[in-house]
């Protein structure tokens, strides 16, 4: 995962353009992708697909010395995203200042700025660089194009035994920012590779933020309305902060409960947040017209760390250990979704004799014998096939037992003929 982050990091991505295409080409080396190109001007819900932006070079040059004091080739964050082309033009430093963006409180970092829907131009630079510029003339140049083209997104589908889908979404529009969101892309790819013959169908969407998910929703109204049973937006998946799960708009969706259960059972520091219409693309999937059960898994929260949207968010800022932890947590959440079934107790009159069926004996010698015995009793008692809250996740929450123990108990009871799956 970390190597994929390092490989993708130099590419200049935006909401459209060749940087997105090259990113998806590299992702496609690991998992097959179905790539969609949506033309400029296409109406997508209340939005319109914008012009396509590409950039080849840009600089600010000190006329007196001929030295580039700001160079796109050093960092693609140096140019305000979607800057219109600017031919070589000489301006005084005073004239140029209104086009320059810095972080005075973080003088050694380059900020990330964009202007997607207003045609303008600008540069981002370290505040310490700006402070060191002498008065005088500077030549500016931006070799970019802003023209009719396409918005690009891609999907990867892992077929399941049911057409009910788990949506996994991450944005691919940020330039050289490792945690936001190359780490999310890397975790998504690893999740896709790990899935083998799942119960649900898993749909991975790699799309530009906001306009990309809106475009996908506009083109997938029927699927969104009828097939998406669970969903997860992945972002900021590689920093050293503790894991954070943000609820879907529904608040009590199965994905919300599964994520909260996994995090709580882990015993590690974590945060579970209520839904808010601010953040990543969960706010599009959870817009009231769709109201999909889509939560968001991050480590540090949206805009919640000093390196957010700065050059400090580089490959060294994310760690292999953090991405691995995010991967394993998401995998555990998916395993809850995969195994969360409802059962009917086939011997509901009184407690069935477990010993003569070898169920107690089969647990002998296990360190968790007592817990599994308790899980069997809970599963038998709650699996009436009638109550709306008799699925295995419901039972785990009521009993305070780990989901794995409850699922293992249900498997053993079903093999002994005491349970019948009804979902």
Full set of structural domains in the chain with CATH: 2-50+150-339 (3.40.630.10), 54-146 (3.50.30.90), 343-421 (no CATH)
Q: Report the percent of the chain where pLDDT is more than 90.
A: 92
The answer on pLDDT for 148 being more than 70 is yes
Question: Where is 11: in which H helix or E strand?
Answer: none
The band of 133, judged by pLDDT with boundaries at 50, 70 and 90, is very high
The answer on pLDDT for 129 being more than 70 is yes
pLDDT value of position 286: 97
Average pLDDT, the chain: 95
Tokens linked to 122: 């600008």
- Out of 167-171, 346-350, 384-388, which region has the weakest mean confidence (pLDDT)? 384-388
Spatial neighbors of 297 by CB under 8 A, at least 6 apart, are 232, 233, 234, 235, 237, 243, 244, 245, 246, 259, 326, 329, 330, 333
- DSSP per-residue string spanning 331-386: HHHHHHHHH--BEEESS-SS---SGGGTTTGGGTT-TTHHHHHHHHHHHHHH-BS-
Spatial neighbors of 352 by CB under 8 A, at least 6 apart, are 380, 418
pLDDT value of position 368: 66
- Could you give the CA distance from residue 235 to residue 179 in angstroms, rounded to a whole number? 7
Residue stretches of the annotated binding site for Zn(2+)? 174, 180, 309
pLDDT value of position 367: 58
Residue stretches of the annotated binding site? 174, 180, 309
- Out of 134-143, 217-226, 358-367, which region has the weakest mean confidence (pLDDT)? 358-367
Are 236 and 284 spatial neighbours (Cβ–Cβ below 8 Å)? no
- Could you give the CA distance from residue 261 to residue 407 in angstroms, rounded to a whole number? 14
The answer on pLDDT for 10 being more than 90 is yes
More confident residue, 422 or 185: 185
The answer on pLDDT for 364 being more than 90 is no
The average pLDDT across 135-142 equals 97
The average pLDDT across 127-150 equals 98
The band of 358, judged by pLDDT with boundaries at 50, 70 and 90, is confident
Q: How far is CA 32 from CA 8, 154, 254, 327, 328, in A?
A: 17, 10, 29, 20, 22
């Amino acid at each position: 995962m970390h190597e994929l982050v390092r490989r993708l990091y130099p590419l200049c991505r935006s909401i459209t353009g060749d940087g997105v295409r090259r990113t998806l080409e590299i992702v496609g080396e690991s998992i097959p992708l179905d790539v969609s190109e949506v033309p400029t001007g296409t109406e997508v819900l209340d939005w319109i697909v914008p012009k396509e932006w590409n950039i080849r070079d840009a600089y600010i040059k000190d006329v007196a010395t001929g030295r580039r004091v700001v160079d796109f080739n050093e960092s693609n964050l140096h140019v305000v995203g979607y800057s219109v082309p600017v031919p070589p033009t000489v301006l005084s430093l005073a004239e140029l200042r209104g086009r320059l963006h810095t972080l005075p409180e973080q003088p050694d970092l380059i900020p990330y700025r964009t202007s997607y829907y207003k045609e303008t131009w600008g540069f981002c630079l370290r505040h310490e660089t700006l402070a060191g510029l002498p008065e005088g003339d500077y030549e500016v140049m931006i070799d970019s194009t802003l023209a009719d083209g396409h918005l690009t997104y891609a999907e990867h589908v892992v077929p399941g035994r049911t057409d009910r889908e788990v949506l996994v979404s991450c944005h691919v529009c940020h330039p050289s920012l490792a945690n936001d969101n190359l780490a999310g892309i890397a975790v998504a790819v690893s999740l896709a590779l790990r899935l083998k013959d799942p119960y649900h169908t898993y749909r991975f969407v790699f799309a530009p933020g906001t306009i990309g998910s809106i475009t996908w929703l506009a083109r997938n109204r029927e699927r969104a309305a009828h097939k998406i049973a669970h969903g997860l937006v992945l972002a900021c998946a590689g920093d050293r902060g503790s894991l954070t799960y943000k609820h879907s708009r529904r608040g009590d969706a199965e994905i919300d409960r599964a994520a909260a259960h996994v995090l709580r059972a882990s015993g590690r520091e974590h945060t579970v947040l209520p839904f808010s219409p601010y953040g990543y693309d969960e706010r599009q999937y959870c817009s009231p017209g769709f109201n999909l059960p889509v939560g968001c898994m991050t480590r540090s929260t949206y805009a919640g760390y000093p390196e957010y949207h700065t050059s400090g968010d580089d490959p060294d800022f994310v760690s292999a250990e953090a991405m691995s932890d995010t991967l394993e947590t998401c995998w555990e959440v998916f395993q809850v979704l995969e195994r969360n079934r409802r059962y009917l107790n086939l011997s509901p009159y009184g407690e069935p004799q477990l010993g003569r069926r070898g169920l107690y004996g089969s647990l002998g010698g296990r360190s968790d014998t007592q817990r599994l015995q308790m899980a069997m009793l809970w599963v038998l008692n709650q699996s009436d096939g009638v109550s709306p809250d008799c699925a295995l996740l419901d039972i785990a929450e009521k009993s305070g037992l780990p989901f794995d123990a409850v699922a293992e108990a249900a498997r053993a009871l079903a093999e002994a003929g005491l349970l019948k799956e009804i979902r």
